[in-house]
Structure 1
Amino acid sequence: MREAVVVSSVRTGLAKSYRGSFNMTRPDDMCSHVLDAAMQRIPAVDKAEVEDVIIGCGFPEGAQGMNVARVATLGAGFPETVAATTVNRFCSSGLQAIAMAAHQIVMEGAVVDIAAATES
């Protein structure tokens, strides 16, 4: 059984809710920037090598609806061949995304996965 490890970690900056510096920024746009930044930190891995991008979203409606994971993945410059899925577990969506990615790697269903979370 393989071991799943974290090789890159990125987050957005902090701002006030609803009236801060990100109040007009779409969640999929912010997530695209984070995905791209995470990949820039590991130049040995090409975006085409990623097998699945799993993004947790507690409220996947409105601006973060329509499979926010797929929109963010394509916005970050990943090829169309990279799978992407949005996970909704309300309060634990991001944690569920991490668990799913780790499970795919440990059970040898994937070599490189990305787990993330986004919210408006």
Structure 2
Amino acid sequence: MQQACIVDAVRLPRARIGKTGSKYSELRPVDMLKPLFKALTSRQPIETSLVDDVILGCNTQVDGQGANIAKTAALYAGWSDSVSGATVNRFCCSGLDAINIAASKIKSGMSDIVVAGGVEQISQVPMFKDKGDWFSNLKVMRATRFMHMGLSADLIACHLGFSREQLDAYALRSHQRATNAAELNYFSKSLVPIEENALAIDNAVRPEATSAQFEALPVAFAEALEQAKPALAAAGLEGIECRHSAGSSPALVDGAS
């Protein structure tokens, strides 16, 4: 069995989405990926025709993220026509799974060089815009017991005994670690800013956040829980409480790797 190893890693600084969009809102998803493909070829002097495959994870594959964006982005960046491309969807784990698939192809001997990563431009292609039956068709939703991920997080937290205070503390520690890593330039080698864009570092991290600020945030999914109570009761899942807030929930960002 061949050994799989990561030769290089590049990504855009993550752009937080606010009321007016993000720093990348005026771009197309392929424009977010293009500088990353360019960076790889400048940092690793290899003919792109030798790359066996490009595998990208993408959750919402419609509009600018549709039509196999992995293949489209490789061509758009000027890579060889011979490079294959595949776009995978495992929801929030799509990019990670793209890397796992790439490693599996190399270890099995199917491929020698694979580029893997992901892209999501939520400011332009919002979650659920693909209108899949799992979350837009009531019959399918009921048959498959669909539950919104925020409500699922509260369900798991209650089931495993995590308190609101523990969730806030964990989230705050995550922001502190990310801030510390940025200050120590741990990300400097992997970050590739878009030239015409002023964003040079992640702007989704809250470096000044405090535990008091996190504690003051309202719970995030109270309305969803209220609507779901009859279904939860029917499934024997009573006693669920809202424990996550905006502080302990992942920020919506535009990004690519």
Aligned AA for 2:9?
Answer: S
Paired position in structure 1 for 2:193: none
The match for 1:22 among 21, 24, 27 is: 24
CA distance in 1, matches of 2:69, 2:56: 8
Query: How far did residue 2 of structure 1 move?
Result: 1.1
CA distance in 2, matches of 1:38, 1:116: 12
1:85 equivalent in structure 2: 86
Partner of 1:104: 105
The amino acid that maps onto 1:5 is C
1:69 aligns with 2:70: yes
Contact 1:4 1:106 in 2 (8 A): yes
Out of 35, 38, 42, the residue aligned to residue 37 of structure 2 is 35
Query: Which has the bigger relative contact order, CA under 8 A and spacing at least 6?
Result: 1
Give the Cα separation in 2 of the matches to 1:11 and 1:100: 19
Q: CA deviation at 1:22?
A: 1.0
Unaligned runs of 5+ in 1: none
Query: Which protein is bigger by CA-based radius of gyration?
Result: 2
Partner of 2:4: 4
Separation in structure 1 between the aligned mates of residue 117 and residue 42 of structure 2, nearest angstrom: 16
Pairwise CA distance, 1:70: 1.2
In the TM superposition, what whole-angstrom CA distance separates every residue of 1:48-67 from its partner, at most 9, and x where no partner exists? Answer: 11000000001111211111
The range that moved more, 76-85 or 19-28, is 19-28
CA distance in 1, matches of 2:15, 2:95: 20
CA contact (8 A) 1:8 1:39 kept: no
CA-CA distance at 1:89 after TM superposition:
1.0
Where 1:109 maps in the other structure, the secondary structure is: coil
Equivalent residue letter for 2:7: V
CA contact (8 A) 1:56 1:96 kept: yes
Structure with bigger strand share is 1
Any idea what the Cα deviations from partners look like across 1:76-104, whole Å, max 9, x if unmatched?
Answer: 11111110011111111101100110011
TM-score between the two structures when normalised by the length of structure 2: 0.45
Structure 2 residue runs of 5 or longer lacking an equivalent are 122-257
- C-alpha root-mean-square deviation of aligned residues, in Å? 1.2
* Separation in 1, partners of 2:23, 2:100: 31
Q: Please give the alpha-carbon distance, in whole angstroms, between the structure 2 residues aligned to 1:78 and 1:36.
A: 9
Give distance in 2, aligned partners of 1:13 and 1:99: 23
Identical positions, percent:
37
Report the counterpart of residue 57 of structure 1 in structure 2. Answer: 58
Q: TM-score, normalised by structure 1?
A: 0.92
